[in-house]
Structure 1
Amino acid sequence: MTDTALIDSTAPTPAPEPRTAVLDDAHVGDIRGALGTIKQGDTAPRNGIPAKLKTLLAIIGPGLIVMVGDNDAGAFATYGQAGQNYGTRLLWTLLLLVPVLYVNQEMVLRLGAVTGVGHARLILERFGKFWGAFSVIDLFLLNALTIVTEFIGVTLAVGYLGLPKTVSVLVAAAVVIAAASTGSFRRFERTAVFLCLGSLLLVPIYFIIHPSAGTMAHDLVVPGMPHGSQLSDVMLLIIAIVGTTVAPWQLFFQQSYVIDKRITPRFMRYEKADLWLGIVIVIVGAAAMMGFAAAAFTGTSGYGNFDDAAGIAHGLEASAGKVAGALFAVALLDASIIGASAVSLSTAYALGDVLGLKHSLHRGVAGAKAFYAIFAGVVLAAAVIVIIPGSPLGLLTEGVQTLAGVLLPSASVFLLLLCNDRTVLGPWVNGRAMNVFTSVVVAVLVTLSVILTAAVLFPGITTTAILDIMAVCGVAGILALGYAELRRRRKGWSLAGPVDRTGKHDWRMPPLDQLPKPVISTGRKVGLSALRTYLFVAMVLVIVRIVQLALGH
């Protein structure tokens, strides 16, 4: 009897692995993190603390990097300004931002792990070419300006340390490009995690300056406004804090980086732990900056007269000696480099996703030339702008904060819509509580965006005008919520039933060509059209205003 006769021809053949929507085959394989490796087929249960810790170490990276990257040069200036001008009276804003940070990043984490497709490409596929192009164009513009601010941070840091600015900026640009261009995802992540540790330099500065822990604890949990200050000035600074802490580039970076690291839904809870680690570090760093800036300048002529981050370093030196100032400058330099790396990568990832380019740090330069060309191009362009004599660097910094605040609502709106698309996320779609909270966040962001746009167009805006804007936006939000609930009841949308979440850890979004065309309701079309009109008008007006200021008008 031959061997073939022993084969049962009626036995079913194993079913092929289902296709997923992953666009670059380098995004599939072993997880090779900075602190460990997980094999692609490893489905063993993690029993016991050692096994769970080993898995967490391998997963750590995306959440940590995106959060620490958020404490970049712009954040140093914003938090430093809050502390120098108003003491610790605005610390409470950080505590309120914690759930916003988590919810936003948790949603893009789910989108990345479940779909395998970047944020910009999902917007393109589900909302059409206009919004896909708009998301990439505004991201590219905003990111390019943000990277300029990172290299401005480099000049401020090395200027305080007595190093040559031009050479230092070029060296910093070379370090950013070289770290991401080795063809090894693990090597980049190890470099990034090492840079993340540099943010911990803010902690010893806090203990050197030793601000009042009791006052900080009170101002952290009890909201209040600085006494004797213009409400309009304080409101604009609060908007800046929100804009620098919840930046649009974070959404695009986190989703694409999770995909590039090959994280799947099976490891979702470990990635959420990684995200919480990053949030804790960013909030501790922000609070420390506000605290030691307040302590260093209170009672001095510099109190209420913020200039730039270098001024914070000099204030720390005057208060506690050269070591405190030098540590702050080194931390600023470190933050600027990691910020430039993350923001540049978010740009290259988004364009690679939309244009169908190979876009993975697992590939070397030869295997993804266009991806690395985009990445290096935006880094070098930003560095050159900074070292050109006469560049309006201060104006560019203000322009970044303004555009980020104006454009943030659009990113949050599409994030919310995508996370309610059952075709995209299946059993991973948002629950009702998540939707309610995120809708409130979006409403607040839209209100802050309108206030910021009005403040740019009318620099002398009064407190009364700001309160009027808040009231109008509040009424509009209530009316919109009522309209949406009325439509839900009339259409019987509750009949869709609860989400079946069984087997969700093995569920992945099907390939893009297999997704049914999304059905967009009339109400949603009207809402998106209104958003499109507002964003276009606001962005054009803000850019015109910035150009006018640059020309001296």
Structure 2
Amino acid sequence: MRIGHFRRATRLFKELGPGLVTGAADDDPSGIATYSQAGARFGFNMLWTLVLTYPLMSAIQLVSAEIGRVTGAGLAKNMGEVFPRPVVTALVALLFFANTINIAADLAGMGAAAKLALGWNSHVATVAFGLGSLLLQVFVSYRRYARILKILTLALLTYVATLFVVEVDWGAALVSLVRPEFKLDGGAMTMIVAVFGTTISPYLFFWQSAQEVEEVNENPKAKPLRQAPRQAKRELARIRMDTLVGMAFSNIVAMAIMLATAATLYANGKTDIQTAAEAAEALRPVAGPFAFALFSLGIIGTGLLAVPVLAGSAAYALSETRGWNEGLDEKPWHAVGFYSVIGAAMLLGVAIDFSPLDPIKALFWSAVLNGVVAVPIMAAMMLVASRRDRMGRFTIGPWVRAGGWGATAVMGVAAVAMFFAR
């Protein structure tokens, strides 16, 4: 029976792809820092946010994936067909800026974690991680690279494993999940906005849509669903399973991080956590060296997954708006603009680590920018996915439409609240 379960799990893992990688990339070192702050400052009382983000995140990611698979083109190209090109170019430029700051913060977090767990020089580790990720994207074929990214998602299981090392009051956690107790002041509002902002991020929309296009380009038998409607039943079912599992994985890991830090740091009065590395270091005296090691190595593993997604999503978006050849399966000399964007984002991210710019403040402002930019991008996605001239008979259904517009409304409220919460 156990062998049968293992085989079924293996088959399921093979079926998963863009949705799983997208969901896992959401738990990057910057996201880990946010979830750690929530657990350290508010205990179990912010767990409810992740219950709410799951259906909203799933809906909007389903929209992005279906746009890519139905039309055979990424989000930026589809948006450019519906909205004025200068508007789309401005949104994509803001995406590139925010992603670059996020890359810098993630690389810095990975370097700090490598110093804590492995004794490496943090700046040397930051450069090594950045250049290593860049070389993989440039010189490894898409199919092999996609497998590498999928394997890296397993690094996030370290956070689930941490729950077996620390002592969690599950009764208190369950009560706080359904009946949280906190004062709705500026600090709490900021944290709620931060959780929503780091969980529903624009780069994830562009990445999953582009990866669905890559899947079509990689398989000679696959066609955009508008051209091959007979493939629709199987492909749309795959996208739904892939996305729902991927987003569940993302939110379960985020919840594990929040639970672990609440049960250890909050319970011991260690509430002032700024980065993922600080959370790992604070865990060592209260939860032991094994929990510290798991938490630290998880930061490195998820960073190796998230950094190329951040750079790649910006490259896809900019290339589509400019009409450049794009795709991780293209040779560098056939997609010079695409790989130049990836290289620029990675190198600028590394450079910021050596600059006087405070990565924590930079990350906050990139989160603010992401939260603001997400709203018009999500609205544009919903309009594209509802138009028959783009989607044919595969316009999104009523449940996905309701969830997508709901997510857009929540992010809009969060973006407004962000400016009043500080």
TM-score by length of 2: 0.90
Task: Give, as a single letter, the amino acid of the residue that structure 2 aligns with 1:412.
Answer: M
Instruction: Report what 2:123 is aligned to.
Output: 166
Answer yes or no: is 1:451 the counterpart of 2:417: yes
Q: Deviations over 1:382-428 (max 9, x none)?
A: 1111123x332121111122112222211111111111111111111
* Cα pair 1:59 1:274 within 8 Å, conserved: yes
* Cα pair 1:145 1:400 within 8 Å, conserved: yes
Q: In 2, distance between residues paired with 1:371 and 1:260?
A: 14
Q: In 2, distance between residues paired with 1:433 and 1:282?
A: 21
**Alpha carbons of structure 1 residues 237 and 298: separation in structure 2 relative to 1, 3 Å:** closer
* Cα pair 1:344 1:379 within 8 Å, conserved: yes
SS of the equivalent of 2:67 reads: helix
Which one has a larger percent helix, Structure 1 or Structure 2?
2
Answer yes or no: is 1:104 the counterpart of 2:60: yes
**Alpha carbons of structure 1 residues 417 and 112: separation in structure 2 relative to 1, 3 Å:** same
Instruction: Report what 2:159 is aligned to.
Output: 202
Answer yes or no: is 1:76 the counterpart of 2:32: yes
Uncovered stretches (5+) of structure 2, i.e. residues with no partner: 217-221, 226-230
Answer yes or no: is 1:269 the counterpart of 2:237: yes
Answer yes or no: is 1:401 the counterpart of 2:358: no
Answer yes or no: is 1:429 the counterpart of 2:395: yes
Q: Deviations over 1:431-490 (max 9, x none)?
A: 3444344333322221211111234xxx4xxxxxxxxxxxxxxxxxxxxxxxxxxxxxxx
Which of these residues, 90, 94, 110, is aligned with residue 154 of structure 1?
A: 110
Q: In 2, distance between residues paired with 1:333 and 1:54?
A: 25
1:51-450 to 2 correspondences below 5 Å: 59-161=15-117, 162-220=119-177, 222-226=178-182, 229=183, 231-262=185-216, 264-265=224-225, 266=231, 267-302=235-270, 304-388=271-355, 390-450=356-416
Q: Deviations over 1:248-267 (max 9, x none)?
A: 11111110111012165422
Q: In 2, distance between residues paired with 1:139 and 1:75?
A: 17
**Alpha carbons of structure 1 residues 224 and 321: separation in structure 2 relative to 1, 3 Å:** closer
Q: CA deviation at 1:377?
A: 1.6
Instruction: Report what 2:219 is aligned to.
Output: none
Task: Give, as a single letter, the amino acid of the residue that structure 2 aligns with 1:386.
Answer: D
Q: In 1, distance between residues paired with 2:297 and 2:8?
A: 34
Q: In 2, distance between residues paired with 1:215 and 1:59?
A: 37
**Alpha carbons of structure 1 residues 250 and 107: separation in structure 2 relative to 1, 3 Å:** same
Q: CA deviation at 1:223?
A: 4.4
SS of the equivalent of 1:163 reads: coil
How many residues are treated as equivalent by the alignment? 403
Q: CA deviation at 1:152?
A: 2.0
Q: In 1, distance between residues paired with 2:153 and 2:290?
A: 21
Q: Deviations over 1:281-313 (max 9, x none)?
A: 1111111111110111234241x3223222211
Q: In 2, distance between residues paired with 1:55 and 1:126?
A: 39
Q: In 1, distance between residues paired with 2:276 and 2:412?
A: 29
Q: CA deviation at 1:236?
A: 1.0
Question: Which structure would you say has the larger RCO, counting Cα contacts within 8 Å and 6 or more residues apart?
Answer: 2
Larger radius of gyration: 1
Q: CA deviation at 1:225?
A: 3.5
* Cα pair 2:96 2:345 within 8 Å, conserved: no
**Alpha carbons of structure 1 residues 317 and 57: separation in structure 2 relative to 1, 3 Å:** closer
* Cα pair 1:179 1:187 within 8 Å, conserved: no
Q: CA deviation at 1:52?
A: 10
Q: Deviations over 1:318-367 (max 9, x none)?
A: 12211211111110111122111101000111111121211122222233
Task: Give, as a single letter, the amino acid of the residue that structure 2 aligns with 1:428.
Answer: F
Q: In 2, distance between residues paired with 1:55 and 1:132?
A: 39
Q: In 2, distance between residues paired with 1:276 and 1:178?
A: 31
Q: Deviations over 1:62-91 (max 9, x none)?
A: 001111000001111110001101111110
SS of the equivalent of 2:44 reads: coil
Q: Deviations over 1:16-60 (max 9, x none)?
A: xxxxxxxxxxxxxxxxxxxxxxxxxxxxxxxxx9x9999865542
**Alpha carbons of structure 1 residues 206 and 54: separation in structure 2 relative to 1, 3 Å:** closer
* Cα pair 2:56 2:406 within 8 Å, conserved: no
**Alpha carbons of structure 1 residues 54 and 69: separation in structure 2 relative to 1, 3 Å:** closer
SS of the equivalent of 1:71 reads: coil
Instruction: Report what 1:494 is aligned to.
Output: none
Q: In 2, distance between residues paired with 1:430 and 1:117?
A: 16
SS of the equivalent of 1:216 reads: helix
